Amino acid sequence: MRADVLVIGGGSAGLAAAVSAARQGARTVLVERHGMLGGMGTASLVHTFCGLYLIDGDSPEFANDGLPREIAGRMEAATGRGPVKMGRVWVLPQHPVDFATIADELIREAGVERLFHSELISLEPGWRARVVCRGESFEIESASVIDASGDAVAAALLDVPDERTPSERLQRPAYVCGVQGVSGEVSGLELAGRIVEGIRAGFLPKSAMGMHFRASGRPGEIFGTLDLTGEETGSYDPTDPACLSALESTGREHARQVVSYFKDHQPGWENAYVAHWPARAGVRESRRWVGEACLTGDEILSGARHDDDVALASWPLELRETNRGPKLRYPDGGEAAGIPAGALRARGFERLFVAGRCLSCDHDAQASIRVMGTCFATGEAAGRMATT
């Protein structure tokens, strides 16, 4: 199989990268391990697009035109819900089911050749990639490669050094599930109090503290989100299958316990049930690429701009180094910083680009650029860079 552009990973960045490259006329192949695109926004049920809009706006103003605006427009049309202001930032509530079908439409219209249920297993400069689907492997030759895997999978397979935050400071993972059968309004504060009551009474584990709920916008449907420490089996390592496995089973166990406690103790929840589990827990940070440039948290906080900027980072540093809620750090003056092209170019290789949460940046900057709205923008930029 031959391609002009091979995109590894079909999350928000890979989706945008593939659509953007294909729209430039490139023969584009997209390799995705799940049966749908959207990554964290579909497989992990993360139901909010952050980073689409400028900080502090009186009205929602897009930080990046192009695919971020286009995808947001399609999502608003699908859900009938517009942007919401939360503190100093605007976010767009999104539904994972709609996101998966919007992604299907986008790649069909753009003519992207997608390979679902497939994983990259080797990569050689040139570029020759080997991809496996259910035990059968095959080769893809491509002029350019975009690593939008989220975990810098291409760096690991090329055996080059990557950047990695020490385990204890890694952003913590989140577990999101869908709940049905709840009647009446959802009061997040009341539910928060109820969870504490459940912990006090010995019905719920202490780690259930922090589980919070938000209406999905569909009748009777609620998303429950639980931030985990990731330390269920020792130190947190989002590339270790034992650690990832514990995340999944712990997430399910705690979420089931909370919903079960609410059935007996929370008015309106008598008929509640967990309607769906995510395909995987949501990972916020793992490996990052070493690029020609490295975007820093200080640059985000000072609203720095560069000559070769390809996108704007308009989300604050959202630090989640513990599972006890986010710490937000806003840029002085609220100005969005530029993400330079060099942060999307892998150092030491020709025609190898990076997009999404594993692009070249430090731990603090990653706490801003990892969000889906920004991933659309860096993906789109990488798709353009790979075709010029």
Partner 1 sequence: MVDCAVDDVLRMLGEEQLIELPSDAGAETDLFAAGLDSMAVMQLIVVLEERWGVVLGAADVGRDTLGTPGRMAATINARR
Among 35, 82, 125, 188, binds partner 1 (CB under 8 A): 188
Would you mind telling me the total number of residues written for the chain in this entry?
388
| 210 interacts with partner 1 by CB under 8 A | yes
Shortest gap between Cβ of 320 and partner 1 (angstroms)? 11
Site for partner 1 in 216-255 (CB under 8 A): 227
Cα 9 from Cα 262, distance rounded (Å):
37
Per-residue interface string for the shown chain with partner 1, residues 299-338, x marking contact by CB under 8 A: -------------------------xx-xx----------
Identify which of residues 127 and 261 has a Cβ nearer to partner 1 in the complex. 261
Q: Which is closer to partner 1, CB of 192 or CB of 274?
A: 192
47 makes contact with partner 1 (CB under 8 A)? no
Cβ closer to partner 1: 119 or 321? 321
The one-letter code for the residue type at 52 is: L
> For residues 261 and 376, which CB has a smaller minimum distance to partner 1 in the complex?
261
CB of 199 to partner 1, least distance (A): 8
CA angle 301, 303, 304 (to 5 degrees): 110
Q: Which range touches partner 1 (CB under 8 A), out of 2-10, 32-40, 121-129, 182-190?
A: 182-190
Tell me if 152 sits within 8 A of 287, measured CB to CB.
yes
Q: Give the interface segment with partner 1, choosing from 48-56, 114-122, 170-178, 187-195 (CB under 8 A).
A: 187-195
Query: What is d(CA 379, CA 233) in angstroms, rounded to the nearest whole number?
Result: 34
H-helix or E-strand containing 352?
strand 352-354
Please report whether residue 190 would count as binding partner 1 according to CB under 8 A: yes
b (16+ CB within 10 A) / e for 338-361? bbbbbbbbbeebebbbbbbbbbbb
Least CB distance from residue 327 to partner 1, whole Å?
Answer: 7
| 339, 378 contact by CB (below 8 A) | yes
Q: Which of 191, 281, 352, 386 binds partner 1 (CB under 8 A)?
A: 191
Among 194, 287, 288, 384, binds partner 1 (CB under 8 A): 194
Shortest Å distance, C-beta 209 to partner 1: 5
- In the list 209, 243, 312, 367, the residue contacting partner 1 (rule: CB under 8 A) is 209
Q: Given 3-state DSSP classes, what are the helix, strand and coil percentages for the chain, each rounded to the nearest 5?
A: 35, 25, 40
Interatomic CA distance for residues 13 and 10, integer angstroms? 7
| Partners of residue 353 on adjacent β-strands | 146, 345
Residue 8 has φ and ψ, to the nearest 5°, of: -100, 110
Are 44 and 372 spatial neighbours (Cβ–Cβ below 8 Å)?
A: no
Q: Which two tokens stand for residue 145?
A: 């490669």
Examine residue 20 and tell whether it contacts partner 1 (CB under 8 A). no
The residues that touch partner 1, with contacts defined as CB under 8 A, are 87, 188-197, 200, 209-210, 212-213, 227, 266, 324-325, 327-328
